[in-house]
């Protein structure tokens, strides 16, 4: 990938998309292509075909898609399944037809079995049943991950690569309570409670599940690293994570400390926890030379400061 290569970032207004734009700009890439949803509906195969025909992007980061936490997955499973598969199918087809040099697709750690050995290796996919609360979303991500292998195999190429980041967080995350992931949801709840002067806060579940978190810019840097080292990648997917996990209770205490909330935390154990633990084995990708550099403490501070500056006035 050269500095003047035409690089298309799909989903550029989202958590990962924003991080990709920042990292690419910092690295000196100048020909970055973006389209807002109002300009290009990625679920529309004909529109995507026309876009690729006219723009001819050489490198594609497919960071667009429908995502959310437990509540959203339980409420909108059909939307998660349809939207993500439609986007993947449209973009994969166009990238192959118009001979994009490389495409990176993003899977999800929820693709792995519910009772998967920890940390989860890439080879663990399909070795057991997946978590029911995120089943539809997981199936769409499995489909995209297998599609990378299938396109490479059928067309005798290696242009499609799937990266599987664990729970991402950072500025521009989705902080809506009904659709956010756990970390963004905690940040909003604590800051909201602090701003409103509430003396107690109720959180979903038991707080026992353990989760690994990776800062969005670290995933963006891993993505650019993968593009720049594409000749070293195999026809498989690669886990991307931080290498450490925390219980949701530990995470809540960390967010409490960063936000300064001094009230009481209560846990609603009647609400679902989801998978007990999700820690990725990232040794396959790290062996290529990449390492994350943002600690959870550092990332939390940056994310909370961004939320306070950009979102609190809108609550």
Catalytic residue selected from 106, 137, 215, 261: 137
Per the CB < 8 A criterion, the answer to whether 227 and 59 are in contact is: yes
Q: What is the CA radius of gyration of the chain?
A: 19
> Catalytic: 137?
yes
- Please provide the size of the chain in residues: 315
Query: In this structure, is the dihedral angle defined by the CA atoms of residues 300, 22, 175 and 137, taken in order, positive or negative?
Result: negative
Contact 254, 246 (CB under 8 A): yes
The set of residues, in sequence order, having a beta carbon less than 8 Å from that of 122 and lying 6+ positions away, is 164, 236, 237, 238, 239, 281, 284
What are the angstrom distances between the C-alpha of 40 and each of 36, 84, 91?
Answer: 6, 15, 12
Residues carrying an active site annotation: 137
């Amino acid at each position: 990938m050269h500095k003047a290569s035409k690089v298309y970032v799909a989903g550029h207004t989202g958590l990962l998309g924003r991080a990709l734009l920042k990292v690419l700009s910092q690295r000196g890439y100048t020909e970055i292509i973006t389209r807002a949803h109002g300009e290009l509906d990625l679920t529309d195969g004909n529109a995507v075909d026309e876009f690729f025909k006219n723009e001819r992007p050489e490198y594609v980061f497919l960071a667009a898609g429908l995502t959310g936490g437990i509540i959203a997955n339980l409420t909108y499973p059909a939307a998660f399944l349809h939207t993500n598969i439609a986007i993947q199918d449209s973009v994969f087809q166009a990238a192959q037809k118009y001979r994009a040099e490389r495409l990176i697709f993003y899977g999800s750690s929820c693709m792995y079995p519910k009772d998967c050995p920890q940390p989860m290796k890439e080879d663990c996919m399909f070795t057991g049943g997946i978590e029911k609360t995120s089943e539809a979303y997981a199936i769409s991500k499995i489909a995209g991950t297998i599609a990378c292998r299938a396109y490479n195999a059928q067309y005798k190429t290696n242009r499609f690569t799937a990266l599987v980041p664990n729970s991402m967080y950072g500025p521009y995350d989705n902080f809506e309570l009904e659709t956010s992931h756990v970390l963004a949801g905690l940040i909003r709840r604590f800051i909201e409670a602090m701003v409103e002067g509430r003396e107690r806060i109720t959180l979903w579940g038991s707080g026992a599940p353990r989760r690994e978190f990776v800062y969005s810019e670290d995933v963006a840097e891993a993505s650019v690293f993968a593009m720049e080292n594409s000749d070293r990648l195999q026809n498989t997917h690669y886990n991307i994570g931080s290498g450490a996990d925390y219980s949701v209770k530990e995470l809540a205490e960390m967010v409490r400390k960063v936000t300064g909330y001094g009230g009481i935390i209560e846990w609603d154990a009647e609400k679902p926890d989801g998978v007990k633990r999700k820690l990725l084995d990232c040794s396959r990708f790290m062996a290529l030379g990449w390492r994350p550099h943002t600690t959870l403490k550092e990332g939390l501070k940056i994310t909370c400061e961004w939320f306070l500056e950009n979102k609190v006035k809108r609550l």
